[in-house]
């Protein structure tokens, strides 16, 4: 069964003037179809304004479709009676770490979600313990969130979502405001959750390096899915990506440039180590000639 | 300077006062404030000083954190002390022009200063040892009876605790905006009051815009985590009176009785 299924999804942002007349309609999602398998790690790429954040907000019913339907484990997000079930099933982590932490102490923030859905007190404690351990934040549980680094704050936000026992977590550019260390921390935590707890991850990002480890990469442009494949296939289509104003991982870019320059390198190099491995024999061969 | 406001700044420690029920601390602060207004002789203030010193000591909050809260009201303190000092009638001890210090003035100024300082320190101890969420919880539960009068107690307490959480963030932001404006040549220091007030506009406008943006984000994040008001909500830390709270109430009442007695006797 697919945990996320969107059929013919359309979403319009409507701007109204003072008399409530429609002033401007901009289509953020345009007849988009998407299915995501339970337990997978999917990265969604797209430049600013491509509709990727709008897509994220559709998944836990923060925004509802203008046309079409989104199902989260067979629950229609537009059904008001199911709204809280949907939000429990699909948790969401946002971009700005400061603006999504409600508690004044780490553990109280993690408890916020379970409190809202009426989990009994002893169970809340168990869930908070578990979530903080899973995100590696257990030692900070009594701290004030204001004294944490950006990466740590995002891990607290992830723990807060995790405490609601979701089956799917949507992360809307969770690393955009973090330094490289924080970014690594957050991505490692997400990957670990996907592997150890089998939680479906939908990672919206514009850092290509973060998409390398995904099971599947989806490229969104103009509110439509324009590419959908495993990372290696996606990143071997460098020219196409550039057309959607996206970068490729550094190593891929270098390999691509080298190939343009006539160096004989294989397709689909993603990591620095792979590039080194592919280059070494070539260099050795040259040394042999001299 | 704006960083110095201690209210809403929790100091994490594990002291008997930290562990008290927030309702006990709220009531205690209230009793203490009442006792300060009740006190009118040195003995009463002696009792208040002792009580406060003991509370500070037991709370294990470093003294500099407690005094930090005072810095914000220094100006107010100075004004009220000097008004009382120079403008009270009585037996004149010292005079220069229209300024005179009288025995009654000296007494009033001293008491006024102590009263204000103790008031701030006393409430700082409460906010330093209670997380804003506990505080909001305590208020929510103590004022629960207002629910029947259709006062949205839960919503108000949630608003309060969120406001408290965002104070340090907005203070930091104010600082950042001020520096950004100063880097572009804004001048906040010179000119008269009106000019200075006017020069705050380039700070306030971006601050408000950003506060509203944060509010939208936060509302969305809260909804995403299934927040739907107080109904059907459980608590991670439900409030429950323990034996130590009973003890604290006993100490409080004894203190209040002592202050009243001291006032009546002298």
- Residue A287 reports pLDDT greater than 70: no
Whether residue A168 is found in the same domain as residue A288: no
Whether residue B227 is found in the same domain as residue B160: yes
pLDDT digits (tens, 9 = 90+) for A127-185: 999 999 999 999 998 888 888 899 999 999 999 999 999 999 999 999 988 888 899 98
Domain boundary among A242, A260, A276: A242
- A167 alpha carbon, distance to own chain's centre: 14
pLDDT band at residue A112, thresholds of 50, 70 and 90?
Answer: very high
Query: Using CA atoms, how far apart are residues A277 and A79, in angstroms rounded to an integer?
Result: 53
Q: How deeply is B250 buried, as exposed, middle or buried, from its count of CB atoms within 10 A (0-12, 13-18, 19+)?
A: exposed
**Domain extent at residue B220:** 131-233
Look at residue B72 in the predicted model and tell me its pLDDT: 79
pLDDT digits (tens, 9 = 90+) for A243-280: 888 888 888 888 888 888 888 888 778 888 888 888 88
**Chain B interface disruption, residue of A104, A111, A139, most B CBs within 10 A:** A104
Whether residue A70 is found in the same domain as residue A181: yes
* A142 with B237: Cβ contact below 8 A: no
Whether residue B202 is found in the same domain as residue B185: yes
Whether residue B13 is found in the same domain as residue B123: yes
Closest CA to B215 of A183, A100, A27: A100
Look at residue B235 in the predicted model and tell me its pLDDT: 85
Whether residue B121 is found in the same domain as residue B221: no
Complex-level ipTM = 0.85
Whether residue A219 is found in the same domain as residue A169: yes
* B236 with A124: Cβ contact below 8 A: yes
Whether residue A194 is found in the same domain as residue A261: no
Between B146 and A121, name the one with better pLDDT. Answer: A121
Look at residue A16 in the predicted model and tell me its pLDDT: 82
Whether residue B124 is found in the same domain as residue B33: yes
Whether residue B181 is found in the same domain as residue B126: no
Look at residue A286 in the predicted model and tell me its pLDDT: 66
Look at residue B230 in the predicted model and tell me its pLDDT: 79
Give B157-165 contacts, CB < 8 A, sequence gap 24+. B158/B230, B160/B132, B160/B135, B160/B136, B161/A104, B161/B132, B161/B133, B161/B135, B161/B136, B162/A102, B162/B218, B164/A104, B164/B8, B164/B132, B164/B135, B164/B136, B165/A101, B165/A102, B165/A103, B165/A104, B165/A145, B165/B132
**Domain extent at residue A274:** 249-290
Whether residue A150 is found in the same domain as residue A37: yes
Whether residue A177 is found in the same domain as residue A273: no
Instruction: Copy the structure tokens of residue A51.
Output: 């509709």
Whether residue B43 is found in the same domain as residue B148: no
Name the minimum distance, in Å, from the CA of A212 to any CA of chain B. Answer: 28
* A128 with B235: Cβ contact below 8 A: no
Whether residue A234 is found in the same domain as residue A258: no
CATH classification at residue A212:
3.40.50.300
Name the minimum distance, in Å, from the CA of A92 to any CA of chain B. Answer: 6
Look at residue A237 in the predicted model and tell me its pLDDT: 87
Count structural domains, chain A.
2
Q: What are the residues whose beta carbons fall under 8 Å from the beta carbon of A202, sequence distance 6 or more?
A: A4, A36, A42, A44, A56, A59, A168, A169, A170, A171
pLDDT digits (tens, 9 = 90+) for A21-55: 888 888 889 889 999 999 999 999 988 888 888 99
Pairing state of beta strands A2-16 and A22-37? antiparallel
Look at residue A288 in the predicted model and tell me its pLDDT: 52
pLDDT digits (tens, 9 = 90+) for A41-50: 999 998 888 8
Count structural domains, chain B.
2
Name the minimum distance, in Å, from the CA of B201 to any CA of chain A. Answer: 24
pLDDT digits (tens, 9 = 90+) for A61-94: 889 999 999 999 889 998 888 888 999 999 999 9
- Residue A111 reports pLDDT greater than 90: yes
Instruction: Copy the structure tokens of residue A11.
Output: 């979403």
B-chain residues within 8 Å CB-CB of A116?
225-228, 233
Whether residue A267 is found in the same domain as residue A218: no
Whether residue B118 is found in the same domain as residue B148: no
As beta bridge partners, residue A178 has none
B-chain residues within 8 Å CB-CB of A113?
225-226
Closest CA to A28 of A1, A81, A68: A68
Q: Mean pLDDT across the stretch A103-109?
A: 88
Whether residue A160 is found in the same domain as residue A109: yes
* B224 with A92: Cβ contact below 8 A: yes
Look at residue A210 in the predicted model and tell me its pLDDT: 87
Whether residue B125 is found in the same domain as residue B247: yes
Look at residue B8 in the predicted model and tell me its pLDDT: 54
Whether residue B178 is found in the same domain as residue B244: no
Mean pLDDT by 10 residues, chain B (266 residues): 52 88 92 89 89 91 84 86 82 77 85 90 88 80 83 85 84 90 83 83 90 93 89 84 91 92 84
pLDDT digits (tens, 9 = 90+) for A195-250: 998 999 999 988 888 888 899 999 999 888 999 999 888 888 888 888 888 888 88
A-chain residues within 8 Å CB-CB of B240?
none
Whether residue B15 is found in the same domain as residue B115: yes
Whether residue B3 is found in the same domain as residue B116: yes
């Amino acid at each position: 069964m697919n945990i996320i299924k969107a059929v013919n999804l359309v979403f319009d942002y409507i701007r109204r003037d003072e008399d409530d007349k429609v002033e401007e309609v901009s289509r953020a999602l345009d007849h988009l179809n998407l299915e995501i398998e339970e337990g997978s790690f999917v990265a969604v790429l797209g430049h600013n304004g491509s509709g990727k954040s709008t897509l994220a907000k559709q998944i836990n019913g923060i925004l509802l479709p203008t046309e079409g339907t989104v199902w989260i484990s067979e629950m229609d997000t537009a059904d008001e009676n199911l709204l809280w079930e949907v939000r429990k099933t699909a948790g969401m982590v946002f971009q700005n770490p400061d603006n999504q932490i409600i508690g004044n102490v780490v553990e109280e923030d993690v408890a916020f979600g379970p409190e809202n859905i009426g989990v009994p007190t002893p169970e809340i404690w168990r869930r908070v313990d578990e979530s903080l351990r899973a995100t590696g934040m257990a030692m900070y549980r009594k701290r004030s969130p204001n004294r944490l680094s950006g990466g740590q704050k995002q891990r607290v936000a992830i723990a807060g979502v995790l405490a609601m026992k979701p089956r799917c977590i949507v992360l809307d550019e969770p690393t955009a405001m973090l330094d490289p260390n924080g970014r690594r921390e957050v991505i490692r935590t997400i990957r670990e959750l996907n592997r150890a707890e089998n939680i479906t991850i939908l990672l919206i990002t514009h850092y290509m390096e973060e998409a390398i480890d995904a099971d599947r990469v989806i490229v969104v442009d103009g509110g439509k899915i324009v590419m959908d494949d495993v990372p290696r296939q996606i990143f071997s289509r460098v020219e196409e990506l550039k057309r959607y104003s996206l970068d490729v991982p550094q190593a891929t870019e270098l390999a691509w440039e080298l190939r343009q320059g006539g160096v004989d390198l294989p397709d689909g190099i993603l990591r620095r180590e792979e590039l080194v491995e592919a280059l070494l024999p070539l260099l050795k061969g040259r040394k042999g000639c001299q | 300077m704006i960083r110095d406001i201690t209210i809403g700044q929790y100091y994490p420690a594990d002291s008997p006062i930290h562990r008290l029920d927030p309702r006990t601390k709220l009531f205690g602060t209230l009793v203490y404030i009442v006792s300060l207004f009740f006190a009118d002789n040195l003995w009463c203030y002696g009792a208040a000083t002792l009580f406060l010193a003991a509370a500070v000591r037991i709370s294990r909050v470093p003294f500099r954190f407690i005094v930090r809260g005072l810095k914000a009201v220094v100006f107010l303190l100075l004004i009220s002390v000097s008004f009382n000092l120079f403008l009270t009638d009585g037996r004149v001890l010292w005079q220069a022009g229209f300024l005179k210090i009288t025995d009654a003035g000296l007494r009033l100024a001293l008491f006024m200063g102590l009263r204000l300082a103790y008031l701030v320190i006393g409430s700082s101890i409460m906010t330093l040892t209670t997380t804003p969420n506990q505080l909001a919880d305590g208020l929510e539960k103590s004022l629960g009876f207002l629910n029947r009068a259709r006062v949205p107690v839960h919503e108000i307490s949630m608003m309060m605790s969120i406001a408290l959480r965002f104070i340090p963030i907005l203070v930091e932001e104010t600082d950042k905006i001020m520096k950004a404006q100063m880097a572009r040549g804004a001048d906040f220091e010179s000119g008269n009051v009106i000019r200075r007030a006017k020069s705050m506009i380039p700070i306030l406008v971006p601050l408000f815009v950003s506060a509203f943006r944060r509010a939208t984000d936060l509302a969305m994040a809260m909804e995403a985590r299934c927040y739907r008001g107080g109904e059907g909500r459980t608590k991670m830390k439900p409030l429950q009176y323990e034996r130590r709270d009973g003890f604290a109430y006993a100490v409080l009442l004894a203190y209040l009785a002592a202050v009243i007695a001291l006032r009546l006797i002298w």
